[in-house]
Amino acid sequence: MLTITRKLEFDAGHRIPDHKSQCRNLHGHRYTLEITLVGDIVREEGSSDNGMIMDFSDVKALAKQHLVDVWDHAFLAYAKDTVVREFLESLPGHKTVIIDSIPTVENLARTAFNILRAAYKDHYGTGLRLHKLVLHETPNCWAEITADE
């Protein structure tokens, strides 16, 4: 299986409301996102993408449009964390993204995977699809999710 991977970074805040330690406090991370795609190589003479699964600049552009620019410098708030949501809503123009699950790195990776899976799905008619997503919360801690194929 031939794959390609593009890495992007973004900054975001969150909290884990019921966590036993410091993660229950408002804090942020420099997240690193690794997007791995699989698909047939484009074979179209004269095409800019000829010989590629997908041009890395297009991988980046779709990721930024659908996820990175949405989450970058936002606070990723759990929908049921009403105290924090009310506080953030009191700040004029604050960038808040509501997540349906507690914003652990595991849940954020699954949410990101679902968003990006739809963005890349068969983009060229070559069977292109999201194979794996890795989300680093810190340099030493991350979650990975792989497509059920």
Q: Which residues are catalytic?
A: 23, 73, 137
DSSP secondary structure string for all residues of the chain: --EEEEEEEEEEEE--TT-SSGGGS-EEEEEEEEEEEE-PPP--TT-TTTT-SS-HHHHHHHHIIIIIHHHTTEEEEETT-HHHHHHHHTSTT--EEEESS---HHHHHHHHHHHHHHHHTTTTSS--EEEEEEEEEETTEEEEEE---
Question: Do residues 115 and 66 touch, judged by C-beta distance below 8 A?
Answer: yes
